[in-house]
Structure 1
Amino acid sequence: MQLSFSGQEQVPAPPAMVWAFVSDPQRVAACLPGVQDVRVVGERELEVGVPLQAGLLRGTLKARVHIEPDENAGQVRVRISGGGLGSSLDVTALSAVVDQGNGTTRLDWQGAATLGGPLAKMGGKAIEPRVHAMIARTFSNMSAAIARGDRLA
């Protein structure tokens, strides 16, 4: 099953603050809704567990998240791959970091996901709005955290 998504998020902070935030996987991980068991495993890499419930399927999807900020290109690429419950998930997302010129930043994001196995079969099209909402919530959470100047202890 193929899914695509796109959106936009206004961040009430300058691009330098956005770049500092997206370059720190722990700070990004704190913005992922519904994610459990977050573990930083590399400079730009996380392992996460996401509890799933779709029809009769219940369990945890384990995934590896790669965050690739490229300030020179003005974009952040995120790759997610994982599986669980006999299903697979592969996501590639790209966000342009756009300086609004007034101390704010716009994130224009888009991506594609491929679901395989029972999750795709049982969840069908009902999964698409859930995936889109989860991604939109991640960007919204990031915007709010950047605006607050969240720091990790």
Structure 2
Amino acid sequence: MQLQESGEFQVRASPAVVWAFVTRPEQVARCLPEVQDIRAHADHAEARVPVRAGLLRGNLGLRLEVQPDDPAQRVGVRVQGAGLGSTLTLQAGATLGDNGDGTTTLRWQGEVQVRGPLASVGGGRLESRARALIERTFGNLQTQLNAAGDTLA
């Protein structure tokens, strides 16, 4: 299964605050829904997420890397996951836009691929669940960034 999504949102935080947040892998990992056991490393974060799809129950181990492009104010995120005989690869990116009023717009896009039993067991429901998880992840990111901006206001 392969899925592509994109969108944008505005937060009440300056580009500098947003950049400091999105370039830290453990901060980005905390925005994943139901994430557990986050371990921060110098250049990546590791975590696990519970999975329930059909009769499959278990955990996916994740490795999340952040790839900042400071001059372009763009950050890439790569998540690789494995578990339950399946693999997950997520490539995402976000560009920061300074709105000139202390707020920032993030324009994002992402592509996820799931292979193995999770892709076949989930069927059409997996696609709608993946879309909902992407929306929750970016919703969590928006909430965290607004909170970070509010604490500095």
| TM norm structure 2 | 0.89
| Pairwise CA distance, 1:83 | 1.0
Match status 1:122 vs 2:116: no
Match status 1:74 vs 2:73: yes
| Pairwise CA distance, 1:51 | 0.3
The percentage of counterpart residues that share the same residue type is 48
Q: Name the CA distance, whole Å, in 1 between partners of 2:76 and 2:5.
A: 14
Can you list the C-alpha shifts for 1:67-90, whole angstroms capped at 9, x where unaligned? 112221121100011211011111
Q: Name the CA distance, whole Å, in 2 between partners of 1:94 and 1:129.
A: 21
**Equivalence for 2:11:** 11
| Pairwise CA distance, 1:36 | 0.9
Q: Name the CA distance, whole Å, in 2 between partners of 1:99 and 1:124.
A: 40
Can you list the C-alpha shifts for 1:37-66, whole angstroms capped at 9, x where unaligned? 1111223x1111110000000000111111
| Structure 2 unmatched ranges of 5 or more | none
**Equivalence for 2:136:** 137
**Mapping 1:4-153, distance limit 5 Å:** 4-43=4-43, 45-149=44-148
Can you list the C-alpha shifts for 1:108-140, whole angstroms capped at 9, x where unaligned? 111111111110001022122222222222222
Q: Name the CA distance, whole Å, in 2 between partners of 1:63 and 1:55.
A: 21
Q: Name the CA distance, whole Å, in 1 between partners of 2:127 and 2:104.
A: 27
| TM norm structure 1 | 0.89
Moved over 6 A (4+): none
Q: Name the CA distance, whole Å, in 1 between partners of 2:86 and 2:38.
A: 20
Q: Name the CA distance, whole Å, in 2 between partners of 1:62 and 1:117.
A: 15
| Pairwise CA distance, 1:27 | 2.3
SS in 1 for 2:20: helix
Q: Name the CA distance, whole Å, in 1 between partners of 2:79 and 2:29.
A: 13
By percentage of residues, which structure has more helix?
Answer: 2
- Higher mean C-alpha displacement, 124-133 vs 75-84: 124-133
Does the 8 Å contact 1:35/1:49 carry over to 2?
yes
Query: Alpha carbon RMSD of aligned pairs, Å?
Result: 1.7
For this pair of structures, how many residues does the alignment match? 150
